[in-house]
Structure formats: structure tokens, C-alpha cells
Amino acid sequence: MSFLELKNITKRYGPMTAVGDISLSVEKGEFVSLLGPSGCGKTTTLQMIAGFVEPSAGTIRLDGRDITRAKANSRGLGIVFQSYALFPHMTVFDNVSFGLEMQRVPKGERKPRVEEALALVHLSPYAGRYPRELSGGQRQRVALARALVIRPPVLLLDEPLSNLDAKLREAMQFELRDIQRKVGTTTVMVTHDQSEAFSISDRVVVMEAGRITQIDQPYRIYEHPQTEFISRFVGKTNLLPGTVTAATAGGASVSLAGIRVDVETAGLSAGETVTLCIRPEKLRLTAPTQGLLTGRVADRYFLGSQWLYHIDGPLGTLMAVTPNDGSTPVETGAPVGLDWSPAVVRIHRGTLAEAPDPALEVAG
């Protein structure tokens, strides 16, 4: 039996279903992220675990105990809110000490525990300050210390890094993971930022329209997205519609607007309509006519460590990313060949559901 278990959890608001029949098991000590666009039900799910929202159906078990209807103040979970939700009228020390006070920890024992928690987040010198006297990153740490000091069985993080600037967010990501490893607290984080979810989670739960569409390790989700939505939401991707012409020994042969491409996916049958997904970094630029396709560089963008090319060809505009390894980048307007190995192609059955949503592309 897993440590935290959500079984067939549903939340309806009137006729609207915010979360529809989701099940999730989290092991002890695991770091799991709920990833999805806004409105996908991830925050509602977190609020149900926290006890702020009551599920319409389903059960939540913590360490074997049914807590579905337990009050929020009896669950003993540590929560870090997006707005940090620090007590503005209390010092950093009193903020962290509050939970211990509520648990009736004797005064003499409180002080060392608060100090220990503040040391964990490197805030010992700030114990006497008020939240308004701290920077965003420091407030974030206070919130984390306040949640961890009560030694919660589960730590819940609601978009914990979204209010920090890019540089700090990256640093905090690793620190968060570091702290979580150190204390070993089972953690569930809600985020809409895939790089955040990928870099620090053991497993990522992708949610879409109130449902879970994939639960997997970050690398597997990136490399083997189970739906077209995931391949678009998680990172950048080229989606190419095609038709299977023949099943072969090692996979299948697909025709993309008359161009024949081999894939390694088994179980496809001739005549089937499919969508090919190829990550931009899996495309190789070659000399014109030497690749599978020939195109022309429509635009190129310098991303620091990488070059991003938009290449016009017979299949429309494709994205390709090459590392900035010091070699001369291809000029805009120049003809270029595109090549890839059959192993990197992922197949989704059926046609493109809808045009890619630009808002979701940005999240990549």
C-alpha cells in the first residue's frame, strides 16, 4: 500500500467537473509533481489533499488512514502556498514557531526546532525580521521552514516558485529538491512549468481537463508522451500528419505528403492515419539533398546554448534545435537538409486534434 493514495477522486462544482475520477499513488519519500495548464484541476486536487476542498466522490488515504473527510487542521500536512501566505504581523521566528505552538510542543523544545528549520533554509540571521522586510526568495524559504518544522508526513507545494524571477527560480528549484532529499518528506507539487516539474520530481503527473493523462518519470514523459496534448505541452515538438503505407518487420512505413519515412512503432496497420512527433533537438541539419528532406532556413534564433531554426520544406515549417558547439550556424535563406533516425519518431494514432495552442507552446 502506498503512503498517499487518491482513489477515484472527483470534484464537481454544479454541472462543472473540476477533477474527474483521478487515482494516484505516492510512495513514501517520493517527490511527485502535478503538471498541467491552468484550469486542469491540479490545484483543486492539491486542495483536496490539504482538506480545503471536499471531494464529491472518492477516497484519500494517508498511511493507510482514510482522511477524505478529515478537517484540514487535523491532517498535519505542511503546505507552501503560491503567495507564501506568511503571517505579516509575526516575525520569521514566530511564523515558523506557530505550527509547533498549535501542536502544543513545549516552549523549551520549540526554540531549537525553529532554529533547526531556519538553518535548513539558510535563514538563521533573519529570525527577528518581519516578512515585509524579506525578499521574495527569503519569504519562500520562510514558508518552507514553517511547513517543514511540524514534521509533516506530506509536504504540499502550490506553484511554489512562480512568484520568483527566472534566475532565482532555477536556484530555488535545486535547493528545494536538496532540502526535500535531506528531510525525506513525501512531497506533492503543483506546477504549470514543465522544466520545474522535470528537474526536481521523481515522477510527473500530467493533468488535462480534470483528468490524469500520464504518470511517469520526467524523462519518459518527455521521450514517450502518451498523447498529442502531452507532446505539445511538454517541450517543443514537430507534429506531422501521415498515413501508414505498410507494416514492416521493424515497425512501419509512413507516407508524409508523399515522402516515405520509417518508424519503429509496432502494431500499425496499412492505411491507418497517424501523427508523427519529432522533437526539434532530434532533427539533424545536413547538407542539402543529403537528408530525408530538403528545406530552407526561414528564421533562426540564438538561444545562447542552442540555435533554433524554423525550416520551410515540403512538410511545412519544422523546428530544429542544434547545440551551439562553436561551428558556424546556417544562414537564413540557405537551403539545408533534415535527417533523423527512425528511433526518435513517436507515433500518435489518428489525425491532429486541433491546431497547436500558441499559449501552450510558450510553456515549452
Q: Which residues bind another protein (CB under 8 A)?
A: 50-52, 72-79, 81-83, 85-89, 98-99, 102-103, 132, 143, 146-147, 150
Please, are residues 154 and 76 in contact by the beta-carbon 8 Å criterion? no
Rounded to a whole number of angstroms, the minimum distance from the CB of residue 60 to another protein is 15
Q: Which of 172, 96, 166 is nearest to 137 (CA)?
A: 172
33 versus 95: smaller Cβ distance to another protein: 95
Q: Which of 159, 194, 189, 167 is nearest to 177 (CA)?
A: 189
Kindly state the cell numbers that stand for 107.
516552549
Rounded to a whole number of angstroms, the minimum distance from the CB of residue 1 to another protein is 24
Please, are residues 157 and 80 in contact by the beta-carbon 8 Å criterion? yes
| d(C-alpha 244, C-alpha 52), whole Å | 50
60 versus 261: smaller Cβ distance to another protein: 60
Please report how many Cα atoms fall inside a 13 Å half-sphere around the Cα of residue 350, on the Cβ side: 7
Rounded to a whole number of angstroms, the minimum distance from the CB of residue 68 to another protein is 17
Rounded to a whole number of angstroms, the minimum distance from the CB of residue 193 to another protein is 20
Backbone angles phi, psi at 353, to 5 degrees: -65, -50
Residue with cell 533523423: 340
75 versus 300: smaller Cβ distance to another protein: 75
102 versus 171: smaller Cβ distance to another protein: 102
3 versus 81: smaller Cβ distance to another protein: 81
**Alpha-carbon torsion 177, 198, 300, 337, what sign?**
positive
45 versus 238: smaller Cβ distance to another protein: 45
Please, are residues 155 and 78 in contact by the beta-carbon 8 Å criterion? yes
Rounded to a whole number of angstroms, the minimum distance from the CB of residue 139 to another protein is 12
Burial degree of 52 (CB within 10 A; 0-12, 13-18, 19+)? exposed
Please, are residues 155 and 4 in contact by the beta-carbon 8 Å criterion? no
Please, are residues 143 and 150 in contact by the beta-carbon 8 Å criterion? no
Rounded to a whole number of angstroms, the minimum distance from the CB of residue 308 to another protein is 38
Rounded to a whole number of angstroms, the minimum distance from the CB of residue 102 to another protein is 4
| d(C-alpha 190, C-alpha 166), whole Å | 18
52 versus 174: smaller Cβ distance to another protein: 52
